[in-house]
Amino acid sequence: MFEHIKRVPGDPILGLIDAFNKDTNPNKVDLGVGVYRDDHGTTPIMRAVKEAEALLVKNETTKAYIGSHGDPRFGKAVLPMVLGDDSPVLAANRASGTQAPGGTGALRLAADFIRVHLPGKGIWLSDPTWPNHLGLFEGAGLKVGKYPYVDAENRLDFPAMMDAIRQIPAGNVVLLHACCHNPSGFDLSAEQWQTVLDVVRERDLLPLVDFAYQGFGDGLEEDAYGARLLAEQLDEVLITSSCSKNFGIYRERTGCLIAVAKDTEQMENVRSQLAITARENYSNPPAHGGAIVAEILESAELAAMWRAELTEMRDRINGLRRDFVEALQPFGLAEKFACIAEQRGMFSYTGLSPEQVETLRSEFGIYMVKSGRANVAGLSRDNLAYVAKAFAAVSS
Ligand code: PMP
């Protein structure tokens, strides 16, 4: 029965990790894989997470199921983080949180919910977007459309984006990256979010806001601007929040699908359906990551420690962005790559071609995704000048 099944190539990013590990170049630099790195090239466990885990081990009394919506403590802690402590949406009790296995799990819940409850509706994704979006939504049986996001000069093409979104038929879903757009790093300004809001309202679209990097751009509150604006101004919004990056708990699979509805009654109706969606997918989400997040956010002391560590990570990335552009100055390339300092989050679209990316790998041991996406967190004080020199060599 399995004879017809063909082998497919593995995930190109995983292939990149493999090639990087095998590379004997002592100067090799990994700008490929999408996890945060510190100056030593490691992905550390945050101190607040370690402390929360110690408390959990000590105080946990049961491993019984936590229910399809997950740990209520997690929901209570994450909703204000995403929507704001003084959120009118929370005051009106019109937002529901369903803990999910990572941001990916939350997206899949959203996709299944859309397929079942908005039958025949499709979802429009930015082009480019996180590659898994496509497989995930198509896999869930949704029709997928695209709107342009980056122009040929490697700039955010907001007019083209909005022209395309204006063409989406009413009642369909548009996916928006809340901040730290993956893969481009180009984010929307407050004014641009306002335009998105106006068009979404005018066209009667349902926004699905993918919020995978809260705190990695300009700050926990600043990064939430667009998500909060839409949630406060619209009757209906879906938000998928991931705790993988901002708590550094990638493998604990911790995320949340937030469903904002017109009023409490409709929110409770949607919530009851989401319990079924979750149950039919995986029954209950894994508990550990949600418990870590709740433990941290419920404790003033741990929350302050976590925020300080998150600030450190964000400042490191944004500092590297500026320093890298400065390191390109002597080669006359600071202007060409100025966008790297303006982009936000871990990723940058560098504008390098697949050929240039290949030369960086073969001649300099610098590993990036073929699209020209670089993980800025893979840079460090030690390799910055080397990478700048290599960029100059392939750009000449
Ligand atoms: N959305 C985007 C845009 C992402 O970049 C990622 C992770 N790379 C996710 C969602 C999923 O995150 P998680 O690891 O929490 O499933």
State the amino acid at position 64 in one-letter form. A
Give the type of residue at 116. V
Give the tens place of pLDDT for each residue, 57-87.
999 999 999 999 999 999 999 999 999 999 9
- For residue 151, is pLDDT > 90? yes
Residue 235 domain boundaries: 65-298
255-260 and 95-100 strand pairing: antiparallel
Identify the sign of the CA torsion 363, 36, 244, 292.
positive
Residue nearest to atom 1 of ligand 1 (CA): 212
Half-sphere exposure of residue 251: CA atoms within 13 angstroms, side-chain side = 3
220 and 93 fall within a common domain: yes
Closest-CA residue, ligand 1 atom 4, reads 212
Is residue 383 predicted with pLDDT exceeding 90? yes
Is the pLDDT score of 9 beyond 90? no
In the reported structure, the alpha carbon of residue 212 is separated from the centroid of ligand 1 by a whole-number distance in angstroms of 5
The rounded distance, in Å, linking the Cα atoms of 240 and 182 is 14
| CA 171–ligand 1 middle distance (angstroms) | 25
Active-site annotation holder among 28, 30, 130, 306: 130
For residue 171, name the pLDDT band (cuts at 50, 70, 90): very high
> Looking at ligand 1, which atom is closest to the CA of residue 104?
16
Q: What ipTM did this prediction achieve?
A: 0.99
Which of 245, 277, 298 marks a domain boundary? 298
Whether residues 128 and 189 share a domain: the answer is yes
Same domain, residue pair 290 and 342: no
pTM: predicted TM-score of the whole model, two decimal places: 0.97
Q: Any catalytic annotation for residue 245?
A: yes
Asked whether residue 191 falls in the same domain as residue 80, the answer is: yes
Q: Does the beta carbon of 130 lie inside 6 Å of ligand 1?
A: yes
6 inside domain:
no
pLDDT band at 159 (very low <50, low <70, confident <90, very high): very high
CB 34 within 8 A of CB 376: no
To test ligand 1's pocket by mutation, which of 132, 175, 180, 250 has the most ligand atoms within 8 angstroms of CB? Answer: 132
CATH number of the domain bearing residue 328: 3.90.1150.10
Q: Looking at this protein, which amino acid is placed at residue 210? A: D
d(CA 213, CA 197): 21
Residue 128 lies in a domain: yes
Both 213 and 349 in one domain: the answer is no
Asked if residue 255 and residue 123 are part of one domain, the reply reads yes
Last residue of some domain: 281, 298, 315?
Answer: 298
> How many domains is the chain built from?
2
5 in any annotated domain: no
pLDDT tens-digit map of 329-342: 999 999 999 999 99
CB distance 34 to ligand 1 below 6 Å? yes
Predicted pLDDT of residue 223? 98
How far, in Å, is the centroid of ligand 1 from the Cα of 244? 8
Q: Is the CB of 244 under 6 A from ligand 1?
A: yes
Is residue 34, in this structure, part of any structural domain at all?
Answer: yes
- Ligand 1 geometric centre to CA of 210 (Å): 8
The average pLDDT across 139-154 equals 96
* Same domain assignment for residues 73 and 186: yes
Residue 56 lies in a domain: no
Question: Does residue 207 form part of some domain?
Answer: yes
Which whole-number Å values give the CA distances from 184 to 138, 150, 345, in the listed order?
22, 8, 9
